[in-house]
Structure 1
Amino acid sequence: MSRLIAAVMVSLDGVMQAPGGPEEDTSGGFAHGGWVWPYAGEDEAMDGLFTQPFALLLGRRTYDIFAGYWPQVPGDAPHGGIAAAFNGATKYVATHRPDTLAWRHSHALGADVASAVRALKHRDGPDLVTQGSSGLLHQLFATDLVDELRLLVYPVLLGRGKRLFDDGTQASAFRLASSRSTAAGVVISRYVRDGEVRTGSFAGD
């Protein structure tokens, strides 16, 4: 079976919209695109994810951004290794336009995204890794399909924008497997699924 790993760059207040550049995603009037760039290089902490076999699981907007960028990155560029890994990986995409997936090794998930992802997880194959794709992540959290979170939490408040979690997220417990902080203040944490939410009370008997 494959694990589903959600790898996310997120602000202190949970915003994950447009980390890479001003024009990446301006929907909703978002005006802070490119907010990770003052911490350039911290995203390299995710490189370990892409040294083992993996498949990408993407929403359509993120897919279009990636498909327009990564195939153009040469192998000797600063991120050439990740570009080669992304270009060579199988891409599974949540889309209503399956006939327009031009990036090689791309496949549409179909109308029932949750069922398609569940079937992929039950096959023998590499782990599924998300990047960006807030709308898709909301579906995955609502159907309890995420096995692991890799979070890069940046020391910035954005106030508004697309967030990692919404009200549809299914209650679930995670265990902190590792954590470290960088000199720039980015907290890099790995959480693994740990059963159901456990509750109790501080009130006396």
Structure 2
Amino acid sequence: MRKIIACLFLTMDGVIQSPGSRDEDPKNNFKWGGWSFPHWDDIMNQSMAKITAEPYDLLLGRRTYEIFAAFWPHQQNDPTSETFNKVEKYVVATTKVDTSWVNTSLITGNVVQELEKLKASDGPDLLIYGSAGLCQTLFEHHLIDVLHTWTFPVTLGSGQRLFEEGTQPEQWKLADAIVSSTGVIMANYSPDGDVKTGSMSGG
């Protein structure tokens, strides 16, 4: 069975919207697009290389897929572009999507059922970048097997957040964590069963 592996950039107050550039996702007049850019360093590049070292296919929401499709196929002599062009790309959408990017398949209809079938099929693990809307569905149905959260030392106060209504109670186990020279906390989690509670009062 394939694993679904999510790699998500978020601010300290949980905003996931438009980390890469100003015009990436400006919905609801979001004006802070590109907030992750000033913080990148070699430690982060090495950590990303480790995440992508094993074979993978891409699983993306519609908006993230369209951003990728408009950029990566047109990059020359770029290892990431070569990989993204080669791997299978699964895009989850409820509206029409241009799937002309080579090796792209559309997942629609009963999305949860189709994702469960995809997980059960043969093939490499499924890697998600961004795709906040898709992640809400995956969290709701406990479909994420590995969660990489990169928390940037930024607060924005507005914008789409990673954990929104529909996220189910779940405990997560920390596998490892590292901090970049710019203060980005890169943590790797896996699901760890039901939420455990207790009392600090000792009573």
Question: Which of the residues 128, 152, 155 maps onto 2:153?
Answer: 155
Correspondence list, 1:128-139, <5 A: 128-139=126-137
The Cα offsets for residues 127-164 of structure 1, whole Å up to 9 and x where unpaired, read as: 11111111111011011111111111110001111111
Aligned to 1:32: 32
1:59 aligned partner: 61
Displacement after TM superposition at 1:31 (Å): 0.1
For structure 2, the 5+ residue unaligned runs are: none
Give the alignment's TM-score, normalised by structure 2: 0.93
- Distance, in Å, in 2 between the alignment partners of 1:173 and 1:125 is 28
Q: What do residues 64-110 of structure 1 show as CA deviations (whole Å, max 9, x unaligned)? A: 000000111122xxxx2222221111111112345621111111112
The alpha-carbon distance between structure 1 residues 203 and 123, as it changes in their structure 2 partners (threshold 3 A), is same
Look up the match of 2:9.
9
1:183 aligns with 2:181: yes
Supply the distance in 2 between the matched residues of 1:73 and 1:86 (Cα, whole angstroms): 11
Question: Per-residue CA shift, 1:26-75, capped at 9, x if unaligned?
Answer: 00110000111111346522222222111111111110000000111122
Q: Quickly say closer, same or farther: Cα 1:98–1:157, change in 2 above 3 A.
A: same
TM-score with structure 1 setting the length:
0.92
Structure 1: runs of 5 or more not aligned: none
User: Distance between the aligned counterparts of 1:184 and 1:178, measured in 2?
Assistant: 18
SS in 2 for 1:100: coil
Find the aligned partners of 2:174 and 2:87 in 1 and give their Cα distance.
Answer: 28
Q: How many residues are matched?
A: 201
**Partner SS, residue 152 of structure 1:** strand
Local SS of the residue matching 2:38: helix
Q: Which of 99, 102, 107 is matched with 2:100 structurally?
A: 102
Query: SS at the partner of 1:149?
Result: strand
Amino acid aligned to 2:137: Q
Distance 1:102 1:112, change over 3 A: same
RMSD value, Cα: 1.5
